[in-house]
């Protein structure tokens, strides 16, 4: 990037139109930009599709500097979203792994006008670091913040990407955040957006910022950007909260030609091997009790009480039913009343694989869920492939996905990373194929063989049970209407594949006896 240093110290260029010098400078600039574009094409650079803000400290021509204070940071995206300084962010000449960066003292930031035209997905990438000398300030210092109205920037429809929860030092890293449903609002760089007053201001150095008004269609496309940034700045990629969730329709869906392979990978590029201990076509006359059992440790989310009689087999399907009924067992616990529901879990545990089901959620506000849960003495995790409230008002098309950590290293510390894909159809309308690729590297959620969400697998490395259930979720889906009950969640099959070397069945007795690797 040495070519960029040609313009160092010429920060006033942008405000001095009219002179012959500027005229020739502009021609020179155009020629150099053309050369830069060729160079960018050669090393690709970041994707330009949906790029709405691009601040790049390695491009000195974009930094307007007076007395070492960066007063303005010009947007390279072409969208004209130039950043105006608050306070006195300083130019670091070449102290960021040999490159320039912008130093924020905890009393500086930048403000930028809204970068998106309408509510939708936003993906932000930031290259930053905090040196030991900058450490020790307040927590939750902002890297990027988008805030409209009076709502806090860490609540929908706003967005914030913080440096770290604490203010520890960290080496140059690429941090990523991708969220849907973000409203257009002023952007803060190194401070909370939507105000000239600094808040949660950063003590650290920012090298590059990319903000897109789109999600990323594949994990691969996201990695193209993080790889570009990591290589350019000598940074590591930090994606704990990252994830991509599809917006809009699935596009072309694969056709199931070979039922012995995942719908998402009919060419078997993944080298999948069918794993029978967790597979079941549900075509027999009765449930295979060598594989499945009721859940004993939990009675259901009140007021709905799990009841084994609500788990049946019918016409080649596993059927989980929710009913409006009062049963004698409810007398023992007043939290449970009026509704019974159903749950079924695998007896054994496993980890990693491709897990695919064909199913139709129940047509009521009772939940239909396909999930994994597991826990030992020191850890507890969960992956929700889907939690659907197919007749919950306004949520009929919402495909809710999540991944939770409840306990880590013996300490309860719940956090989760979720996403919602809006299906084009009401989800209870018919059977569809739902899949989860759970690998050591990533979690990829599929509908009809097409990815709808992906996130790096930072924590889900312990064995879990596979679970189907239906719950009342009064706080989320509301209670089902009487006329919608009984309603049933039907599962035609569950098919599971493994790759060589991945774990098979794991018994409960092994959960604590074996020392699993740390969650992260
Ligand atoms: Ca079947």
Question: What pLDDT, in 10s, does the model give residues 316-337?
Answer: 999 999 999 999 999 999 999 9
Rounded to the nearest angstrom, the distance between the alpha carbon of 265 and the centre of ligand 1 is 20
| pLDDT, mean of residues 40-46 | 60
Closest Cα partner for 511 from 455, 476, 465?
A: 465
Q: How far is CA 31 from the centre of its chain?
A: 40
Cβ atoms of 486 and 338 within 8 Å: the answer is no
Are 145 and 159 spatial neighbours (Cβ–Cβ below 8 Å)?
A: yes
145 CA from centroid of ligand 1 (Å): 48
Q: What is the mean pLDDT of residues 145-163?
A: 91
- Distance (angstroms) between ligand 1 centre and the Cα of 195 equals 57
Query: Is the pLDDT confidence value at 37 over 60?
Result: no
Q: Which residue has the tokens 């306990």?
A: 407
Give the integer Cα–Cα distance in Å for 436 and 369: 13
The pLDDT of residue 475? 84
The region of weakest confidence among 43-47, 132-136, 202-206, 424-428 is 43-47
- 229 and 278: one domain? no
Sign of the Cα torsion 460, 463, 468, 474 reads: negative
- 315 CA distance to ligand 1 middle (Å): 8
Tally the domains of the chain. Answer: 2
Q: Is the pLDDT of residue 519 over 80?
A: no
Q: What does the pLDDT read at residue 408?
A: 84
CA–CA gap between residue 453 and residue 442 (Å, rounded):
10
Domain termination residue (choose one: 242, 275, 310): 242
**Domain region containing 227:** 2-19+44-242
Residue 2: pLDDT above 60?
Answer: no
Query: How much is the pLDDT for 12?
Result: 26
255 CA from centroid of ligand 1 (Å): 18
On whether residue 135 sits in a domain, the answer given is yes
pLDDT in the model for residue 39: 38
Beta strands in 268-390 (DSSP E): 273-274, 292-293, 304-306, 311-314, 317-324, 339-346, 353-360, 368-375, 380-388
The label of the residue with tokens 């053309």 reads 34
> DSSP E strands: which ranges in 275-335?
292-293, 304-306, 311-314, 317-324
Residue 186 maps to a domain: yes
Please report where in the chains the tokens 């030092």 appear, as a residue. Answer: 169
Nearest to 438 by CA among 269, 247, 270, 239: 270
Taking only the tens place, the pLDDT of each residue in 218-232 is: 555 777 898 899 999
Domain stops at, among 208, 242, 276: 242
Mean pLDDT of 400-429: 87
pLDDT at 373 over 90: yes
Q: Is residue 248, in this structure, part of any structural domain at all?
A: no
314 C-alpha to ligand 1 centroid (Å): 9
In a domain, 518, yes or no: no
If asked whether residues 208 and 286 sit together in one domain, one would say no
Q: Give domain status of residue 89, yes or no.
A: yes
Same domain, yes or no, for 489 and 418? yes
Whole-angstrom Cα distance, residue 156 to residue 147? 9
Distance CA 493, CA 360 (A): 11
pLDDT at res. 241? 53
pLDDT mean over 153-171 = 88
| pLDDT single digits (tens) 51-90 | 999 999 999 999 999 999 999 999 999 999 999 999 999 9
Query: In 405-425, which positions are buried (b, 16+ CB within 10 angstroms) versus exposed (e)?
Result: bebbeeeeeeeebebbbbbee
Question: Is the peptide bond prior to 484 cis by the omega test (within 30 degrees of 0)?
Answer: no
pLDDT of residue 489: 98
Task: Give the residue-averaged pLDDT of 415-425.
Answer: 87
Measured distance CA(394)–CA(127) in Å, rounded: 38
Residues 338 and 412 in one domain: yes
Residues 14, 78: one domain?
Answer: yes
CA distances in angstroms from 222 to 124, 213, 243, listed in the order given = 11, 14, 9
Using one digit for the tens of pLDDT, what is the confidence trace for 331-354? 999 999 999 999 999 999 999 999
Could you tell me what percent of the chain has a pLDDT over 70?
A: 88
pLDDT higher than 80, residue 268: yes
Rounded to the nearest angstrom, the distance between the alpha carbon of 496 and the centre of ligand 1 is 14
Please tell me the distance between residue 280's alpha carbon and the centre of ligand 1 in angstroms: 8
Given a contact cutoff of 8 angstroms between Cβ atoms, the answer to whether 157 and 182 are in contact is yes
User: Where do the H-state alpha helices sit in 346-503?
Assistant: none
Q: What is the pLDDT of residue 502?
A: 93
Higher pLDDT, 243 or 299: 299
Q: Is residue 56 part of a domain?
A: yes
Whether residue 269 is contained in a domain is answered as yes
Is the whole model's pTM more than 0.75, yes or no?
no
Residues 222 and 302 in one domain: no
- Asked whether residue 313 is assigned to any structural domain, the reply reads yes
Relative to beta strand 170-182, strand 236-238 is: parallel
Q: How far is the centre of ligand 1, averaged over its atoms, from the C-alpha of 292 (Å)?
A: 15
Residue 156's pLDDT is: 81
Q: How far is the CA of 477 from the centre of ligand 1 (A)?
A: 28
17 — pLDDT class (breaks 50, 70, 90): very low
Span from the CA of 493 to the centroid of ligand 1 (angstroms): 5
Does 298 share its domain with 430? yes
With cut-offs at 50, 70 and 90, classify the pLDDT of residue 6.
Answer: very low
Q: Do 176 and 51 belong to one domain?
A: yes
Cα radius of gyration (the chain): 26
8 Å CB contact between 86 and 190: no
Q: What pLDDT, on the 0 to 100 scale, is given for residue 86?
A: 97
- Is 135's pLDDT higher than 70? yes
Q: What is the CATH number of the domain that holds 288?
A: 2.60.120.200
Find out whether the peptide bond into 346 is cis, omega within 30 degrees of 0: no
CATH number for position 85: 2.60.120
Q: State pLDDT tens for residues 434-486.
A: 999 999 989 999 999 999 999 889 899 999 999 999 999 998 899 999 999 99
pLDDT of 40 above 70: no
Cα 118 to ligand 1 centre (Å): 44
CA distance 421 to 249: 9
Give percent of the chain with pLDDT exceeding 90: 70
Q: Indicate if 229 and 296 belong to the same structural domain.
A: no
Give the per-residue pLDDT at 477.
92
Of 386, 387, 333, the residue nearest 356 (C-alpha): 386
CA of 286 to the centre of ligand 1 (A): 12
Q: Compute, in angstroms, the gap from residue 505 CA to the centroid of ligand 1.
A: 22
Distance 301 CA to ligand 1 centre (A): 28
In this structure, are 346 and 495 located in the same domain?
yes
Residue 317 Cα to ligand 1 middle (Å): 5
**Gap from CA of 367 to ligand 1 centroid (Å):** 21
- Say yes or no: 198 and 53 in one domain: yes
Q: How far is the CA of 246 from the centre of ligand 1 (A)?
A: 29
Per-residue pLDDT band for 240 (boundaries 50, 70, 90) equals: low
Instruction: Tell me which residue has tokens 């400078």.
Output: 25
Mean pLDDT of the chain: 88
Determine if residue 294 is left, alpha or beta; phi over 0 gives left, psi from -120 to 50 gives alpha, anything else beta. beta
pLDDT at 242: 61
Q: Are residues 286 and 204 in the same domain?
A: no
Q: Is the pLDDT of residue 34 over 70?
A: no
């Amino acid at each position: 990037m040495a070519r960029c240093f040609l313009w160092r110290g010429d920060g006033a260029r942008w405000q001095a139109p009219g002179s012959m010098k500027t005229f020739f400078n502009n021609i020179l600039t155009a020629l150099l930009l053309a050369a830069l574009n060729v160079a960018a094409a050669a090393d690709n650079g970041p994707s330009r599709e949906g790029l709405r803000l691009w601040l790049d400290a390695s491009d000195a021509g974009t930094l307007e500097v007076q007395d070492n204070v960066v007063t303005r940071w010009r947007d390279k995206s072409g969208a004209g979203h130039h950043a105006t300084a608050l306070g006195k962010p300083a130019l670091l000449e070449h102290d960021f792994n040999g490159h320039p960066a912008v130093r924020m003292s905890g009393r500086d930031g930048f403000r930028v006008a809204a970068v998106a035209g309408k509510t939708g997905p936003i993906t932000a990438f930031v290259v930053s670091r905090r040196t030991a000398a900058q450490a020790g300030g307040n927590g939750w210092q902002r890297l990027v913040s988008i805030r409209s109205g009076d709502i806090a920037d860490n609540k929908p429809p706003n967005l914030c990407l913080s440096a770290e929860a604490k203010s520890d030092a960290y080496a140059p890293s690429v941090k990523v955040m991708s969220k849907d449903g973000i409203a257009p609002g002023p952007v803060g760089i190194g401070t909370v957006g939507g105000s000239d007053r600094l808040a949660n201001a950063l003590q650290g150095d920012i090298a590059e910022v990319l903000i897109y008004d789109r999600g990323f269609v594949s994990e691969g496309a996201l990695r193209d950007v993080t790889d570009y940034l990591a290589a350019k700045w000598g940074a590591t990629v930090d994606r704990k909260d990252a994830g991509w969730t599809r917006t809009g329709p699935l596009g072309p869906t694969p056709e199931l030609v070979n039922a012995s392979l995942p719908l998402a990978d009919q060419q078997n590029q993944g080298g999948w091997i069918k794993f029978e201990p967790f597979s079941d076509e549900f075509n027999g006359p009765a449930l295979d009790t060598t594989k499945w059992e009721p859940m004993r440790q939990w009675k259901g989310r009140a007021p709905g009480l799990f009841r084994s009689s609500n788990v049946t087999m019918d016409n080649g399907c596993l059927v989980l039913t929710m009913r409006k009924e009062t049963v004698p067992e409810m007398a023992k616990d007043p939290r449970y009343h009026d509704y019974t529901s159903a749950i079924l879990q695998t007896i054994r545990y496993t980890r990693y694989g491709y897990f695919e089901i064909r199913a139709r959620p129940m047509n009521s506000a009772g939940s239909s869920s396909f999930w994994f849960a597991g826990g030992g003495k020191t850890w507890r995790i969960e992956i929700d492939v889907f939690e659907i409230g197919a007749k919950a008002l306004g949520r009929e098309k919402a495909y809710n996905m999540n991944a939770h950590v409840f306990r880590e290293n013996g300490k309860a510390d719940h956090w989760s990373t979720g996403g919602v894909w809006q299906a084009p159809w009401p989800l209870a309308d018919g059977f569809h194929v739902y899949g989860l690729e759970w690998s050591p590297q990533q979690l990829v959620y599929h509908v009809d063989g097409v990815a709808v969400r992906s996130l790096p697998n930072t924590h889900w490395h312990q064995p879990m049970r596979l679970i189907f259930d239906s719950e009342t979720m009064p706080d989320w889906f509301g209670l089902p209407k009487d006329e919608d009950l009984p309603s049933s969640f039907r599962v035609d099959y569950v098919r599971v594949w493994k790759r060589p070397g991945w774990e098979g069945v794991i018994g409960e007795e092994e959960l604590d006896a074996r020392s699993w690797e740390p969650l992260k």
